[in-house]
Structure 1
Amino acid sequence: MRRATRASIGAAAALAVLVSACSGSATPSATSASSSRHGSTIPGPSPDPSTSASAAAAPRTGRFTISFAGDVHFSGRIRTRLNRNVRTVFGKAEPGLRRADLTMVNLETAITTRGVPQAKEFHFRAPPKALTALRDAGIDVATEANNHGADYGNQGLHDTLRAIRRSHFPVIGIGKDADAAFRPFTRTVNGTEVAIIAADQVQDETTLRLFSAGRHKPGVANAYSPRLISAVKKAKAAGYLVIVYVHWGIELQTCPSGDQRALAKKLSRAGATAVIGTHAHVLQGAGWLPHSGAGTYVAYGLGNYLWWESFDNDQDDNGVLTLTFAHHKVVGSHFAASHLANSGVPVPAHGAQKRRIDHEFAADRRCTGLSATPPR
């Protein structure tokens, strides 16, 4: 992230049957009062043992919904909200996060109170209770495969992995090694086995130099690694509906970059049913890849969602994208527009503001090569 002003802001594990609770990413199951909405990070061909009975009883073609929102962190005014009341951080945004069968965001921060800030202009960190705030808001899974997950060095990364493990809140795209970082979150939803994989394509020190997860090295899942495509293929071959959440794009550009478009096509060919993205700090276009046999839905950028600063321009526009799935395809999409309030909360938009943001989001599709309707 570059310096923020009004004009600018500025593969997978070998599909084992059981994920150890001491892995560097999320633990196998959530244990909070809301754990019925949470899944696990079991990447094997067998469904999650905690949901296999319902999976056997429910039809595999059942319809279900998954909602996605963009970048979230807990700095500045959001830290003030977190310290005041961990249960109400998301405010008026919370009802919109609870409507779908599953909800996911990008958590763009290290989870630590220690460590050395890295050689970059912006550093984000939050205490472990930030994970509680996500759960309390109705969010089921987050990705930390981004350029801020390791903002506080090795100490901060170690603390982040420990906080995730202790919280029992599913966080993907980061781990004690590449196996853990590329390990999918899995969940059986109305009879369909879903796998979500996360990776970071932003070319900064996090991915390119210091904190790309390796064989015996903690870090984030690197989207340039062949393990990403391999992870998608393995999950698809194991019978999962595969979704990939990628941190990518060029800041403040509403049109996807060549790297984004190329990776989206590769992920589609590998078997991804949906590809979701963030990082550009503005909305980017969404729709179906034409001539895609898998009918892949791509949302290139969902913008800043719960954010530390407002800019009085399109950087404050965001929303919750809800996809409807059936027969292993995306059969419908709905974008619930919202706009950053002075509190940092994405407040649902209404009236003229909603019409403006809806038009903006639809217009962004023009330079994507995506279709507004599913391929036939």
Structure 2
Amino acid sequence: MFVSRSESHQHNKKRKSRRMKRLVIINLSMLVIIGALVIIYFFMNTDGTKKQPDASGTVKQQDNGDAPSGNGANPTKEDDSSKKDADKGEDGSSNPSNKGNENIPDKGTDKGSDNGPNNGPTDNNGTGTNTGTDTENGNNTNNGGNPSVEGESKVTLSFVGDILLAASVDSLMKKNGYEYPYAKALPFLTKPDLMAANLETPITERGVPATNKSFVFKGSPKSLPALKEAGFDIVNLANNHTLDQGVEGLLDTVDYLNKVSMPNIGAGHDDAEAFKPVILEAKGISVAYIGLTRVVPVGSWKAEKDRAGVAETYDATRALKAIREAKQQADLVIVMVHWGIERSDNPNAVQKQLAHAYIDAGADLIVGSHPHVLQGFERYKGKWISYSLGNFIFNMTATDKTKDTGVLDAVCTAKGDCSLQFHPMRAVNSQPNPIEGDQAVQLLKRISSISIQSTLDKNGFIKAKE
């Protein structure tokens, strides 16, 4: 069939037009599909996160802060708990020196070690007054404030010396209430994270009094709730009065302390229990307390494998072993030790030898008691030794220096760096009273004069001499 050229041209034109329409439709369809994919992709990748290229050009997801916590949120922000863990440092294990590791002869007691308090005239010259503050130069020194160690998580550990809850103190508590001894010092006792003392009294309603002793004590279980409420968290039982009422009295003491949830160290059913540390935690820092005594009236008071008693340190072997093991279990190791010569201003050679050996074994702080008077401080290999905090709550005696007392604050990091401050007090009628002004300055100067290469400033901060 013949088709004219004109018809052929029209036919080709219509065919091209249909082809163009199809191409347009296809292209439009593809654009729609591509647009849909772009929209889907956009919504899938804008759910609260941004993508940023790293230095190599690789795209990494960066949190914008809206993701839920605990699921990788805020990776660029420092997490407080992680920082706290990081501050704990190494485990602190060390190779102790042999100094002090030799057997120390068991002579029963140091000279004058169990003469007991001199029950001379009671000081009845009033209860004293104190405003509790000293704002000179902007320093609030006697309001229970604590020294600080900058930059790291820290815990405030505080200590007092001997606490007696028997004899004339018991009479005062029965008359004025069991909270009476702590009333004036209470702000300093309740503020710290952990508060510790040496309990110089068996707590029992039975027992057989020890013989051949000048002073034998016996405290009432009724006194313990007030001790707890005053802020004390742990007590040391390793001393020369814990068995004044025999093993029965010792075990009763532990039971009564357990009833008021008061951890105790330094004594027990056997030597394993007596030397075992108590580990407490505050501010995320674990603190191991160990109680020891080098004042034991008779050998049978010493805890052994098959005998209840106290943790002795005449032979330092078990004490050093306990310290090394505690250092593997806790950030800080605190040794509370009963030692020295009564009413002596200065530590004797054995106290110094043992203190250095304890630190060589891993102890971070040594706090002593027994002399009934304040002794000085020493810094050894970056660690502090308080040789004696004297009496805190005790019978009043004719020896004036036995009335000088106070609260020691140690602000410590998990690495064992401690900053110390002593808050001076004076006991009146067995009740510690914070002192200030010239009284405080004079007492702090006296402690400085008997410290070893250490000084106390007018605010009670303790520093090593340059």
Q: Which runs of 5+ in 1 are unaligned?
A: 8-59
Q: For 2:441, which of 343, 351, 355 is the aligned residue?
A: 355
Output aligned runs, 1:158-197, within 5 Å: 158-197=251-290
> 1:296: Cα distance to partner?
1.4
Over residues 263-292 of structure 1, what are the superposed CA-to-partner deviations in whole Å (9 max), with x where a residue is unaligned?
A: 001101100010000001111011311xx1
Residue 368 of structure 2 is matched in structure 1 by: 277
CA 310–375 in structure 1, closer or farther in 2 if over 3 Å, else same: closer
2:308 is the counterpart of 1:224: no
> 1:181: Cα distance to partner?
0.9
- 2: distance between equivalents of 1:369 and 1:270? 22
> 1:163: Cα distance to partner?
1.8
Contact 2:296–2:302, Cα closer than 8 Å, also in 1:
no
2:74 is the counterpart of 1:74: no
Residue 96 of structure 2 is matched in structure 1 by: none
What secondary structure does 1:259 align onto? helix
Over residues 213-235 of structure 1, what are the superposed CA-to-partner deviations in whole Å (9 max), with x where a residue is unaligned?
A: 11121111112342211111011
Amino acid at match of 2:115: R
- 2: distance between equivalents of 1:370 and 1:223? 26
Tell me the TM-score normalised to structure 1 length.
0.78
2:321 is the counterpart of 1:236: no
Amino acid at match of 2:273: A
Residue 336 of structure 1 is matched in structure 2 by: 423
Amino acid at match of 2:387: Y
Over residues 114-152 of structure 1, what are the superposed CA-to-partner deviations in whole Å (9 max), with x where a residue is unaligned?
A: 222212001111011222121011111110100000011
2:347 is the counterpart of 1:256: yes
> 1:310: Cα distance to partner?
3.5
- 1: distance between equivalents of 2:189 and 2:408? 10
2:412 is the counterpart of 1:319: no
- 2: distance between equivalents of 1:154 and 1:269? 33
> 1:89: Cα distance to partner?
3.5
2:95 is the counterpart of 1:95: no
What secondary structure does 1:158 align onto? helix
**238-247 or 159-168, larger mean C-alpha shift:** 159-168
| Aligned positions, number | 315
Q: For 1:2, which of 111, 115, 140 is the aligned residue?
A: 115
- 1: distance between equivalents of 2:463 and 2:180? 37
Over residues 318-363 of structure 1, what are the superposed CA-to-partner deviations in whole Å (9 max), with x where a residue is unaligned?
A: 110101112422331110000110x211111122221121111111
- 2: distance between equivalents of 1:228 and 1:285? 23
2:243 is the counterpart of 1:150: yes
What secondary structure does 2:312 align onto? coil
What secondary structure does 1:125 align onto? coil
CA 374–311 in structure 1, closer or farther in 2 if over 3 Å, else same: same
> 1:81: Cα distance to partner?
3.4
> 1:301: Cα distance to partner?
0.3
Contact 2:265–2:290, Cα closer than 8 Å, also in 1:
yes
Over residues 27-83 of structure 1, what are the superposed CA-to-partner deviations in whole Å (9 max), with x where a residue is unaligned?
A: xxxxxxxxxxxxxxxxxxxxxxxxxxxxxxxxx951121110000011233212332
- 2: distance between equivalents of 1:160 and 1:221? 15
Tell me the TM-score normalised to structure 2 length.
0.64
Amino acid at match of 2:337: V
What secondary structure does 1:64 align onto? strand
Contact 1:212–1:219, Cα closer than 8 Å, also in 2:
yes
Contact 2:117–2:395, Cα closer than 8 Å, also in 1:
no
- 1: distance between equivalents of 2:406 and 2:368? 13
Output aligned runs, 1:291-310, within 5 Å: 292=381, 295-310=382-397
**158-167 or 348-357, larger mean C-alpha shift:** 158-167
Contact 2:343–2:372, Cα closer than 8 Å, also in 1:
yes
What secondary structure does 1:272 align onto? coil
- 1: distance between equivalents of 2:324 and 2:261? 27
**86-95 or 170-179, larger mean C-alpha shift:** 86-95
What secondary structure does 2:228 align onto? helix
CA 4–158 in structure 1, closer or farther in 2 if over 3 Å, else same: closer
**Aligned-residue CA RMSD in angstroms?**
2.2
Residue 202 of structure 2 is matched in structure 1 by: 110
Deviation beyond 6 Å, 4+ runs, structure 1? none
- 1: distance between equivalents of 2:441 and 2:398? 20
**159-168 or 329-338, larger mean C-alpha shift:** 159-168
- 1: distance between equivalents of 2:282 and 2:393? 27
Q: Which runs of 5+ in 2 are unaligned?
A: 1-113, 121-150, 456-461
What secondary structure does 2:376 align onto? strand
Contact 1:196–1:245, Cα closer than 8 Å, also in 2:
yes
CA 123–6 in structure 1, closer or farther in 2 if over 3 Å, else same: closer
Amino acid at match of 1:2: N
